[in-house]
Amino acid sequence: MLAEAEILERLQELGLRVTQPRRLIVRSVLSQNGPFSAEELLSQLHQSTSPPGRATVFRTLDLLVEIGVLDRVHHPSGLHRYVLAGVDHHHHVVCSQCGAVADFNGCNVEELIAAAVSQTGFQINGHWLELFGICATCQQASAPTRSPAGLP
């Protein structure tokens, strides 16, 4: 995981200003312990003495995704959540009930990419894969309870 100073340095290398609101947002992002939404981050930031504006938060989140600090995780409902980007190539499994996100490694899409190149003539430079399902916790919570000896 990148340190705050490395992220701010990367922003400077791109010719972007490292403002106090950006510093606060980066610090807050790095303190997250799992997936978070922009709204959750905004709520946390509004507890600070001089919180950044809503647009600044959204633009900074987009920027952090663009430079590889964050991954944007999509949810079937259309809402986005964010997670700190891993150092290795990985994908996400997203619970369509509670929004939990789990990383998984492995990506055997070489045949699919070769077929896409062959059929379209595109030069493929990346891909994005997220799987949606129901996590073990939600499965267990929605499982019917059985009474002893088949009693209702």
9-40 pLDDT, tens digit per residue, is 999 999 999 999 999 999 999 999 888 999 99
Q: Is residue 151 part of a domain?
A: no
Question: Which pLDDT does position 152 carry in this prediction?
Answer: 54
Question: Which pLDDT does position 149 carry in this prediction?
Answer: 60
Q: Is residue 58 part of a domain?
A: yes
Separation between Cα atoms, residue 134 and residue 96, nearest integer Å: 6
Question: Which pLDDT does position 146 carry in this prediction?
Answer: 60
Residue 89 assigned ligand-binding role: yes
Q: Is residue 148 part of a domain?
A: no
Q: Are 2 and 69 in contact (CB under 8 A)?
A: yes
Identity of residue 69:
V
Q: Is residue 70 part of a domain?
A: yes
Residue 107 assigned ligand-binding role: no
Residue 91's domain comprises: 4-136
Question: Which pLDDT does position 142 carry in this prediction?
Answer: 86
Residue 90 assigned ligand-binding role: no
Question: Which pLDDT does position 27 carry in this prediction?
Answer: 95
Residue 40 assigned ligand-binding role: no
Give me the residues of the chain with pLDDT under 70, please.
1, 87-88, 145-152
Q: Is residue 27 part of a domain?
A: yes
Q: Is residue 152 part of a domain?
A: no
Angle formed by the axes of helices 20-30 and 38-45, nearest 10°: 120
Question: Which pLDDT does position 42 carry in this prediction?
Answer: 96
Considering its fold, how many domains does the chain have in total? 1
Question: Which pLDDT does position 124 carry in this prediction?
Answer: 86
Q: What is the DSSP letter of 97?
A: T
Q: Is residue 141 part of a domain?
A: no
Q: Is residue 16 part of a domain?
A: yes
CATH of the domain at 107: 1.10.10.10
